[in-house]
Amino acid sequence: MTLRAALAATAGLAATAGLAHAGGLERPNAIAARAIGQGGAFVAIADDATAWHWNPGAAALAAANVVVGGELVIAPRSYTPIDAAGVRGPTQAPDTPVAPVPTLAIAARVSDRVTLGAGLWNPYGGQLRYQPTGAPAIDATTELVLEGVAGVAYRVSSRLAIGATARVGVGLFAVETTMRPVTSDVSGSGVGLGVGLGVAWRPHPRLAVGATWRSAMTIETTGEGELDLAGGLTLDMAHVQRWPQAVEVGVAVAATRALRVAAQLDWTGWSRFEELEVRFPAEPAADQLYLLDWQDSLTARVGVEWTATPALALRAGGYVDGNAVPDRTLERQYLDSTKLGGAVGVGLRVGRWRADVAFDLVAGPPRVVRDNRTQVGPWGTRANLAPGEHDGSVYTFALTFGRRL
């Protein structure tokens, strides 16, 4: 099996197809059932090995442990064209994406103050396919990253810890188009690097504060493309994935011995997505450029956990996730809007073992983009690319097993 074939097989497990945040390239609530069940408000209270994603500093305040789990994502969506006269065209819907997503992590104490560990997950990415209609369109896309991290956390005191991660991302890219500007089928893969920093502070036994920064990650993918030109051309291609940086700040309060409430605010730098560019170095005239002009977004979260017994915890959470994609560049592949999400979860503990399950639903009202071609006149590049009604939702089922080491 070639490296590219192996990466494509991995993508079958990692690509959360047709997602619902920032053009379908990130779920607003993801990575392990314990966090998902609390609406993703986990930065201040990350207490298992997935802290390497949520807050690397928190890994030094938690017991050594290993986490193995996955999420099943179901993401129906649809697009109905609507012209300037209000006439609705046939509704277009891809096969409902169903994708399993893995989560693996370990955190091990190497001294009283130092914790080392690693993790593997899919933080960003989507995969979607529509049946071609013959009209100019992007028919299928794959844009995702599978991320492996290595982390170190240092306990400064019993109340304060800091941590850092080195992140390696394997990026996969593919796009199939009909007359955009030519009919084509291109794909590639590549590797990029990033870092993460986190701080966890426990100023009082009932109060936890956390903050995390994850750097941007740039992945230069290379591969081949088939273009319907001059009887068919096969060319080497290059595409740069520019994944965003993110900042997350959270606080959690133990209202009683059994009830904890957490709140969190996330900022994601989606403005890095200025354009989707596919280059053909040997034939620059065949280069493809799709404007995106995405915007940075905010997500506000709240989560609660009630420890009913030492062996049973019940969780719930909700969030409001901001829109990153303007009307002008919204297409059926890149669904986004201001949306609401809600989650519930249950945790069971038996000795050193823990099992967590969660369910999350993110949805919002259909987004209607008007046909403004007559208003923009000769400035055709200002026209909305896909006028009509865009609708979709995401259902996530998560199961995670953990064990203290």
* 10 three-state secondary structure: helix
**DSSP codes, 137-182:** EEEEEEEEEEEEEEEEEEESSSSEEEEEEEEEEEEEEEEEEESSSS
Q: Is the peptide bond before 181 cis (omega within 30 degrees of 0)?
A: yes
Dihedral sign (CA 182, 183, 186, 192): positive
Rounded Cα distance, 12 and 110, in Å: 35
What pLDDT score does 14 carry?
A: 34
Q: Indicate the pTM of the whole model.
A: 0.89
End-to-end C-alpha distance for the chain, whole angstroms: 36
pLDDT at 171 over 80: yes
pLDDT level of residue 30 (50, 70, 90 thresholds) = confident
Residue 154's contacts (CB-CB under 8 Å, 6 or more residues apart) are: 60, 113, 114, 115, 161, 162, 163
CA-CA distances (angstroms) from residue 85 to 147, 373, 395? Answer: 46, 12, 34
| 138-166: pLDDT as tens digits | 788 888 899 999 999 999 999 999 999 99
- 316 vs 334, which has greater pLDDT? 316
Averaged pLDDT score across all residues of the chain? 89
pLDDT tens, position by position, 225-241: 888 876 778 889 999 99
Between these two residues, 120 and 22, which has the higher pLDDT value?
120
Q: How far apart are CA 240 and CA 221, in angstroms?
A: 6
Phi-psi bin for 39: left (phi > 0), alpha (psi -120 to 50), beta? left
**pLDDT for residue 286:** 81
Could you read off the pLDDT of 381-401 as tens digits, one per residue?
788 888 999 998 899 999 999
The residues pairing with 201 across neighbouring beta strands, listed in sequence order, are 160, 209
Q: In degrees rounded to 5, what are phi and psi of residue 187?
A: -155, 155
DSSP run (H or E) holding 14: helix 3-14
When pLDDT is averaged across residues 20-36 and rounded to a whole number, the result is 77
Q: Are 90 and 130 in contact (CB under 8 A)?
A: no
Among residues 225, 218, 215, the alpha carbon closest in space to that of 191 is found at 218
Residue by residue, DSSP assigns 40-62 as: T--TTT--STTHHHH-GGGGGGS
Percentages helix, strand, coil for the chain (3-state, rounded to 5) are 10, 55, 35
Residue 24: the pLDDT is 61
d(CA 299, CA 327): 20
